[in-house]
Amino acid sequence: MRKLAMLLIALTLTMTVLVGCAKKDPVTDDKGNQSGTNSNVDDKENTEKVTLQLWHYISQGDLDDFEKIIDDFNTSQDRIEVVPTYVSRDDLTKQYTMGAISGELPDIGEADSPDFASFIELGVFEDITDMVNEWGEIDQFYEGPLSTVKDAEGRIYGLPHNSNSLLMFYNKDMLEDAGYTEAPKTWAELEEVAAKVTTSDTYGFSIAAAANETTTFHFYPWLYSTEETISSLDSEGAIGALEFLTNMLNNGYMSKEVINWGNGDVKEAFAAGKVAMMINGTWQVPSLREADLGFEWGVAEIPIDKQLATTIGGEDFGIGAGTKHKEEAFEFLAYMMNAQNNADFCEAGGKIPVRKDAMELKEVWSTDPIISVFAESLDYAIARGPHAEWPSISKAIQEAVHASFLGEKTPEVAMKEAADKVNAIINE
């Protein structure tokens, strides 16, 4: 019954993708060839070499580095060939949902880390706990990213691929002009500095709060800094977190448009000098460094209430349920996720390695004044969920934040209503 309920939830969540869409042609692999699934059909054309179908949504900026790892693996041996196929993130959710019913899944597939637990519950990925333990390298993975590929019993269904986190970017010139030589460290200091640097054409601070997972991603650090969790959304601390952000908005220190802004929108406002301090992610560093901004900027830990907190983002890879080539698929996963490959891919794409030994291979994560702060954040970063019904939990949080920001409900009412929804899910 639980799996049926999960299937119905997942199907509902994908309706916005499906509405108005006709049946699509088979997805096209990265070489331009049409391909479908491979795991549940025998390779009749070649019984010696195993072909593995891999579905991913790696963006263009990272695609060359990702495909290099695949090409290197394919040329390193003559038994296995990995064929990558790009599928947009929204379409991938649809394909996994339908594949869980039809059994048509790839041998290897990518998923956004907060969604992975939902796909485990749907039966999309194979349990690879025994393989991982035999591999003997799992202790090298940071627990935060690793937790996203585990079920409630601690069984492992995939490997984290890359990680990112949120920190505070700040315009050094603006803060110095206002008399501050360093970034604010506490909520009280943040409010003070934001008030001082806010002008008629510049906002002191910004988060991203578009009506999707972005809102939850950005609210998490404030919630967990109070030492509360998603299990205590009706607590004084959790309510206080939303109240603080709502006050920042109502006092004019944040733009009313944040409810429509994604991470990219906030970055553009910061780059244009329209926002003095912003919460944003690791992936923004390369483009900000390449741009001629006309001002000095830095990165600092997110100001705290009681403890340091930030949110983990990133991607995971799992082995498709029912594949006939589980051992070969894991062989590729282990290759892709060895320390050197993890270090090379993450360095090139402005991401954070998920392995401790990978972090040690490149000086950038210990010596770079920007990247090192992000690397250190993995020691205290919190993963969203993981929970099989994370989309529903996240939606409740999103609705609470938006209701408060729009003035439709007080932070207390909004959070108590969210707590009722989330606790009903967690305790079912």
Per DSSP, the residues of 22-59 read PPPPPPBBTTS-B----TTS---S-SSSEEEEEEE---
CATH number for the domain spanning 11: value is 3.40.190.10
Kindly indicate the confidence band of residue 60, based on its pLDDT and cuts at 50, 70 and 90.
Answer: confident
Query: Residue for token digits 């009280």?
Result: 188
Identify the pLDDT of residue 336.
98
Among residues 363, 381, 399, the one where a domain terminates is 381
**Same domain (yes/no): 241, 199:** yes
Number of domains in the chain: 2
- Rounded to whole angstroms, the Cα distance separating 106 from 53 reads 5
User: In 3D, which of 77, 61, 5, 127 has the Cα closest to residue 287?
Assistant: 61
**Same domain (yes/no): 302, 188:** yes
**Same domain (yes/no): 198, 157:** no
Among residues 345, 360, 381, the one where a domain terminates is 381
pTM: 0.85
**Same domain (yes/no): 179, 266:** yes
User: In 3D, which of 258, 279, 284 has the Cα closest to residue 187?
Assistant: 279
Task: Estimate to the nearest angstrom the gap between the alpha carbon of 251 and the chain centroid.
Answer: 30
User: Residue 170: helix, strand or coil by DSSP?
Assistant: strand
Identify the pLDDT of residue 386.
84
**Same domain (yes/no): 393, 364:** no
**Same domain (yes/no): 8, 150:** yes
Mean pLDDT, to the nearest integer, of 348-372?
A: 93
**Same domain (yes/no): 110, 148:** yes
Mean pLDDT, to the nearest integer, of 83-109?
A: 94
> Residue 190 belongs to what domain range?
165-311+387-426
**Same domain (yes/no): 87, 150:** yes
Helix 236-250 / helix 390-405 crossing angle, nearest 10 deg: 50
Query: Residue for token digits 């949120």?
Result: 166
pLDDT tens-place string over residues 112-155: 999 999 999 999 999 999 999 999 999 999 999 999 999 999 99
**Same domain (yes/no): 239, 375:** no
Lowest mean pLDDT among 39-53, 63-77, 108-122, 403-417: 39-53
**Same domain (yes/no): 298, 361:** no
Kindly indicate the confidence band of residue 30, based on its pLDDT and cuts at 50, 70 and 90.
Answer: low
**Same domain (yes/no): 11, 138:** yes
**Same domain (yes/no): 47, 112:** yes
